Amino acid sequence: AEDGYRLWQRYEQVQDASKLQAYRKAAGEIIIQGNSPTLKVAQQELEMGLNGLLGQAVPTTQQPTQQNILVAGTPSTSALIKELNLSDKLKAAGDEGYLLLTTTKNGRNYTVIAANTDIGVLYGSFHLLRLLQTEQDIAKLSLTSTPKIKHRVLNHWDNLDRTVERGYSGFSLWNWHLLPDYIDQRYIDYARANASIGINGTVLTNVNANALVLTPDYLKKVAALADAFRPYGLKVYLTARFSAPIEIGGLKTADPLDPQVQAWWKQKSDEIYGYVPDFGGFLVKANSEGQPGPQNYGRNHADGANMLADAVAAHGGIVMWRAFVYDDKEPDDRAKQAYNEFKPLDGQFRDNVLVQVKNGPIDFQPREPFHPMFGAMPKTPLMMEFQITQEYLGQGTTLAYLSPMYKETLESDTYAKGKGSTVAKDIDGTLYKHTLTGIAGVANIGTDRNWTGHQFGQANWYTFGRLAWDHTLSSEEIAEEWLRMTFTNNSQFIAPVKSMMLGSHETIVNYMTPLGLHHIMGWSHHYGPGPWIKDKHRADWTSVYYHRADEKGIGFDRTKTGSNAVSQYFPPVAKQFANLKTVPEKYLLWFHHVDWDYKVNSGRTLWNELCYRYSSGVDGVRQMQQTWDKVQGQVDEERFQHVKTFLAIQEKEAKWWRDACLLYFQTFSKRPIPQDLEKPA
Ligand code: GCU
């Protein structure tokens, strides 16, 4: 059945007859000289891919026997690649990049996948397959591709009992019970999928960490996963619970400046590297949402991060220390706390520490302005943390294509070093000349047959990997690639469905949190609307704290007259956001408390605009339903029906959000809902 298990790696036979003929001709045989595990899987993938795409078996040989040859390898293990004299071009390919080119030698035609490393060969193989999957011309190839960011990492918020924090696609993939002895084929397919989009790291465990994963019984299991992933270039990382020295080490303290604690982590790291020689390092959530951390001992984030960094440094490990920190210390505005805690520590972190910052200053809201820490810590490599799982975006049943949201953050201009200092440039190291760079995505993957619950959730996993490799790709290009590979190359399907995807995020923002509203979702589970949430023991866990609706107006004043969070941005940005006339309308209520009768860009009053936005969100979902209904028959019925059913759920949820929010906010605005709009139920 077409259940989506194969993701974007379906390798169905190419439909376009002339393309099929050209591809069959170009790949008369495959030659891969060298036999590392990574080259083996590259060969397997090319064989499997070509057999499917070409509808015929392609022989693998050791020496040329045919006229048209597909050759893949590195100059160090492949004599054939060496003879092609690519060393000048290969210089530009670096450690993980590759060349794809066509050339002739001794009268034979070669389609070449060349790299300096085996993993580069594997990445190049996936790229070539993608060209065939999307029916591109491969007659005159001449391209070099290298990743712009070094560590491209999934964060699994997976617990050892296999529940997944904020996971909506079944349980954790890691079957701790059957590990280490049973290696599920799913682990391999997971690694293949990641390698196909250049993801090179995976944090197996929840940021709300359990120290048990650091004990030998679990480390054996972790090692088995690492062994399964290794051929695919996928490194394993773990979350480190800061209090582990107490919980599993029997120490009285976890103080990072205590020599015994330092020695414990050093020994623990050595032990981990004994199991997993290429262990990537630790991801740490400390002093946030009740998690233990260095502040429990009067120390700061740098003290904590550096202790762990020292423990893994000799093995080449890194520490990804999260900046998602808040508590009730910033009573006037939670949005300010991370910047206030971290900015003064710039320059104090070890060389192998990255500080991992969520895209916005609150918490993965449907839309947030970029986090003010970006650009603000020149001496510290900042790592981006995006959420792929849709905690605040309708969870498992909502079609939300997230590339436009990721790109919006990446392309935001911090003005840290004048115009053009985009967030992307801070992340990829070009702004402050960092070579240690990283990007993380909180995974949306679970045990559901289709991996991500929603068929279109796969697109966000795909997008994260593609943007991590090259953040200059456009949302359009990525959507198109994904649709072609996942569904069909039929343009009558691609065009409407692509535009449906591209508009989907804005549609959701409209029916959930238009005009800069945020954090008005259901209590604790975060599902559905809850703008009325108040009287929880902490103000910053309520909704009223964020929308501040009253008889006069609505919105959070983050200018000088309010929390002044806006001052954390560089002056040109701060100035723009602080001014009611120049703040981008999408952030209006994020930064300002605005009168109900204030005239917005459309000429409507704020209240009326809010009504229109919520309504247009619902209309947007209905348009998505119409678009999808029209493509019935162009894709398999199983996935068609699955998406159709989920869109019907989404329509219900959109109405729920619209009606709940408008009726609630109306109790403050005391103004009517415009006549021409559908009445809340
Ligand atoms: C959100 C989420 C939590 C998660 C936290 C984090 O607050 O709701 O479940 O633990 O983010 O990123 O640490």
Please report, as a single letter, which amino acid is at residue 223.
Answer: A
**Ligand 1 touching residue 540 (CB < 6 A):** no
Q: What does the pLDDT look like over 126-139, one tens digit per residue?
A: 999 999 999 999 99
Query: What DSSP state is assigned to residue 416?
Result: B
Query: What DSSP state is assigned to residue 148?
Result: S
Say what the ipTM of the complex is.
Answer: 0.99
Instruction: Out of 391, 444, 519, 541, give the residue to mutate to test ligand 1, the one with the largest number of ligand atoms within 8 Å of its CB.
Output: 391
Q: 218 pLDDT band (50/70/90 cuts)?
A: very high
Proportion of the chain above pLDDT 70, given as a percent: 100
pLDDT at 329 over 80: no
Q: What does the pLDDT look like over 560-577, one tens digit per residue?
A: 999 999 999 999 999 999
- Contact between residue 345 and residue 306 where contact means Cβ atoms under 8 Å apart: no
- Tell me the fold of 514-556+593-669: Alpha-d-glucuronidase, C-terminal Domain (3.90.1330)
**What whole-number distance in Å separates Cα of residue 121 and Cα of residue 368?**
38
Ligand 1, atom nearest to 391 Cα: 8
pTM: 0.98
DSSP string, 531-558: TT----SSGGGSSHHHH---SSEES---
Does the 151-486 domain belong in CATH 3.40.50.1360?
A: no
Q: Is 551 a catalytic residue?
A: no
Q: What does the pLDDT look like over 432-466, one tens digit per residue?
A: 999 999 999 999 999 999 999 999 999 999 999 99
Output the pLDDT for position 610. 98
pLDDT at 661 over 80: yes
Query: Span 373-377, mean pLDDT?
Result: 98
* Average model confidence (pLDDT) across the chain: 98
pLDDT at 675 over 80: yes
Q: 214 pLDDT band (50/70/90 cuts)?
A: very high
Q: Which two tokens stand for residue 676?
A: 């021409």
pLDDT at 119 over 80: yes
Centre of ligand 1 to C-alpha 35, Å, is 43
Query: Span 540-557, mean pLDDT?
Result: 97
Query: Span 199-210, mean pLDDT?
Result: 98
Q: 330 pLDDT band (50/70/90 cuts)?
A: confident
Q: What does the pLDDT look like over 425-438, one tens digit per residue?
A: 999 999 999 999 99
Residue 538 Cα distances to 328, 505, 534, 535, 544, angstroms? 7, 30, 9, 8, 11
Output the pLDDT for position 450. 98
- Tell me the fold of 17-145: Chitobiase; domain 2 (3.30.379)
Strand partners, 438: 151
pLDDT at 255 over 80: yes
Q: Which of 391, 413, 609, 653 is catalytic?
A: 391
Scan for tokens 């005391």, then name that residue.
670
Q: Sign (positive/negative) of CA torsion 214, 216, 218, 222?
A: positive
pLDDT at 374 over 80: yes
Q: Is 47 a catalytic residue?
A: no
Strand partners, 358: 385
DSSP string, 628-659: HHHTBTTB-HHHHHHHHHHHHHHHHHHHHHHH
Q: What does the pLDDT look like over 34-48, one tens digit per residue?
A: 999 999 999 999 999
Query: Span 472-500, mean pLDDT?
Result: 98
- Please name which of 438, 306, 308, 424 lies closest in space to residue 381, comparing C-alpha atoms: 438
Output the pLDDT for position 328. 80
- Contact between residue 11 and residue 52 where contact means Cβ atoms under 8 Å apart: yes
Strand partners, 13: none
Higher pLDDT, 102 or 328: 102
Output the pLDDT for position 472. 98
**Domain spans, the chain:** 17-145, 151-486, 514-556+593-669
Output the pLDDT for position 22. 98
Q: 360 pLDDT band (50/70/90 cuts)?
A: very high
Q: Is 363 a catalytic residue?
A: yes
**Omega within 30 of 0 (cis) for the link into 180:** yes
pLDDT at 172 over 80: yes
